[in-house]
Amino acid sequence: MSFIDSSAVNVALPNLQRDLGASAAELQWIVEGYGLFLSALILIGGSLGDAFGRRRIFGSGIALFALASVVCGLAPNVAVLVAARCLQGAGGALALPGSLALFTASYDGAARGRAIGTWSGFSAITSAIGPLIGGWLVQTESWRWIFFINVPLAALTLAVLPHARESRDASASHHIDVPGASLATLGLGGLVYGLIALQGGSADPKGLGAVAAGTFALVAFVFVERRSRAPMMRLDLFASRAFTVANIYTFLLYAALGGSLYFLPFELINVEGYSPAAAGAALLPFVAILFTLSRFSGGLSARTGPRLPLAVGGLLAACGFALFAFAQTGAPYWRSYLPGAVALGFGGAAFVAPLTTTVMEAVDVSHAGIASGINNAISRAAGLVAIAALGIALAAAFQASLARDLAGRNLSAPTRAALVAGRAVIVAGRVPPGIASSERGVVGEAIRTAFARGFRTAMLASAALAAAAGLLAALAFRRRVRPAPLP
C-alpha cells in the first residue's frame, strides 16, 4: 500500500489537475504532503513499535492509512486531498518500519537475510509497478480508485495480522522524541515549501525565508538528537563509515529516482499524448528487469562486497536518465523511452538489494531496525526535496523556452491574458483555457516544446545525481563491510 501509493498517484496527476483545477504547485503538494509526513515521522513509527509492540503499531498504521485513503478518494477539492495525503503519510510512517521489524523478529540467520531481500525486492517492484496500476485505474475508472483500492488491501492485512508474532524491545525507552519529530517535520516542510515557491522564477522573499527557516530547523534537529535521551535518529550509527557512505549514496540516488519519476508522467501524457495506462506501462521493462535480476545482484554483493554493484548500479541509472533526457519527441516508444527504462532496470537491479544489505551489515545486528529506518527516511526525504528542487530547474527552462518561442508571435489580447492567468497550470505542460481557437495550436505546441526542454533539464540533473552516487560507491566503499563498534 505504502510503496504503490508513493508512485501510482504520479500517473493520475494530469487527470487530477483537470478534474480539480489544481495548479502545478498544488499538484506537487499532493505528492509532497504524503512524502513529508512519511519521511519525517517514519523513525518515530519505528520507536513506537519498539516500545509498544511492532504488530500493534503496524496495525494502527494500516488502519490510519486506510481511513485516510477513503478521505482521499472522496476529496471534493485539492485542500482536502492534500490534508488526507498528509494523514496517509503519517499512517505509512507507523506501518512501514513495523513491516520490516516483523520479518526481523520472525526469522533468524540466513532465513532473515532472505526475508529482508524479499522485502527489499518487493518494495522496489511495487514502487515501480504503481504507475501501471495507477494508469489503468485512471483510464478505466477514476483517479479516486487509486485510493479506494487500499481499503480491501488493508482489510486483508488486518485479518491475517493476528497470526504474526508480537515483538518489542524490552530495553526501548517509552519516551517519544516529540522535539525531534517536530523539528524534522518543520525543517523538511519549510524547505519544500520554499523550493516550490521559488519555482516562479523570481527570488520570492517568502520562498527564501521558508528555505532559511527549514534549513535552520534541520540543523537544530541534529543538535537536539545529539542531546536527546531517546533520539528518533541514532547519530552514533554514523560512526560506521560504510553506514554513512551508504546513506549519502541513498540520498543521491533516490533524489534522482524520486524527482525524475514525478515528472515522467507529465512528459508522456501532456507532451507525447500517451494514455494514462500507456504512461504507467512505460516503466514495465524497469519492473521486469528489477524483479528478474535483484536476487542475482544480492548474491553478487555477498561475494564481491558492495563497491562493484553499487558503482555499476549508479552509473547505469545515470545512463537511463540521460536516455530519457534525449528521447526523441514523437518517436515510437521502443526508440524513445524504452532504452532509458531498460538501462534504469539494470541499474536498479544492481543497487537495490546490495544497498539494503550494506546498510544492515554496517551496524551491529541489534541496531538493524533503526539502521533500516534511518535509511528509509533518508530515501523518502531525498525524493521529497528532489521533486521541489528539480521543479525549479524544470520551471526555469520551461519559462525561458516558452518566452523565446512566443516572443515573435502576434498573439491576441485574450490569449495573452489566458497565458498570464493560467501560468500555474501551464508549467505542468497543459494548455490553459481561454486561448483563442485560431492560436491554440501554436500556443499548445510552444507549451509542449517548453515542457520537453524543462523535462530534459530535470533528467540531466537526475543523471548527474546518479552518476555522483556511482562514483561515490567506487571511491568510498571497501571490498567488505564490517560493523563499526558504537561508543
Residue scoring higher pLDDT (35 or 229)? 35
Q: How far apart, in Å, are the Cα atoms of 153 and each of 1, 89, 93, 125, 141?
A: 7, 17, 17, 17, 18
Q: How far apart, in Å, are the Cα atoms of 485 and each of 43, 306, 480?
A: 22, 20, 16
Whether the full predicted model's pTM is greater than 0.85, yes or no, is no
8 Å CB contact between 460 and 397: no
Which residue from 176, 164, 168 is spatially nearest to 59, judged by alpha carbons? Answer: 164
Q: What is the pLDDT of residues 19-38, one digit of tens each?
A: 888 877 888 899 889 988 98
Q: What is d(CA 90, CA 44) in angstroms, rounded to the nearest whole number?
A: 10
Burial class (CB in 10 A: 0-12, 13-18, 19+), 339: middle
Q: Quickly list DSSP for 290-358.
A: HHHHHHHHHHHHHHH-SHHHHHHHHHHHHHHHHHHHTPPTTS-HHHHTHHHHHHHHHHHHHHHHHHHHH
- DSSP H or E stretch at residue 212: helix 205-227
DSSP 365: G
8 Å CB contact between 8 and 31: no
DSSP 2: H
pLDDT for 158 equals 94
Q: Quickly list DSSP for 224-268.
A: HHHH-SS-SS-GGGGGSHHHHHHHHHHHHHHHHHHHHHHHHHHII
The size of the chain, in residues, is 487
Q: What is d(CA 375, CA 353) in angstroms, rounded to the nearest whole number?
A: 13
pLDDT class for 128, splitting at 50, 70, 90?
low
Q: Considering only 98-107, 333-342, 457-466, which range has the smallest mean pLDDT?
A: 98-107
Q: Which residue has the cell 503519510?
A: 89
8 Å CB contact between 454 and 394: yes
pLDDT class for 465, splitting at 50, 70, 90?
very high
Alpha helices in 142-177 (DSSP H): 145-148, 150-160
| CB burial string 420-439: b at 16+ within 10 A, e below | eebbbbbbbbbbbeebeeeb
Residue scoring higher pLDDT (220 or 22)? 220
Q: In the Cβ-directed half-sphere of 260, how many Cα atoms lie within 13 Å? A: 29
pLDDT for 467 equals 96
65 CB contacts (<8 Å, ≥6 apart)? 1, 2, 88, 91, 92, 95, 150, 154
Q: Give percent above pLDDT 70 in the chain.
A: 89
Identity of residue 261: L
Given a cut of 60, whether residue 484 has pLDDT beyond it is no
Q: What is the pLDDT of residues 55-114, one digit of tens each?
A: 899 999 999 999 999 999 999 999 999 999 999 999 998 888 778 777 767 777 667 667
Which residue from 45, 32, 5 is spatially nearest to 377, judged by alpha carbons? Answer: 45
8 Å CB contact between 168 and 54: yes
Give the chain's mean pLDDT. Answer: 84
CATH number of 2-162+230-401+448-476: 1.20.1250.20
8 Å CB contact between 135 and 264: no
Q: What is the pLDDT of residues 157-209, one digit of tens each?
A: 999 988 887 877 666 666 778 888 889 889 999 998 888 888 766 677 888 89
CB atoms within 10 A of CB 205: 9
pLDDT class for 251, splitting at 50, 70, 90?
very high
Per the structure block, which three cell numbers stand in for 448? 509542449
pLDDT class for 242, splitting at 50, 70, 90?
confident
Q: Quickly list DSSP for 40-69.
A: HHHHHHHHHHHHH-HHHHHHHHHHHHHHHH
Three-state secondary structure call for residue 451? helix
Domain extents for the chain? 2-162+230-401+448-476, 177-229
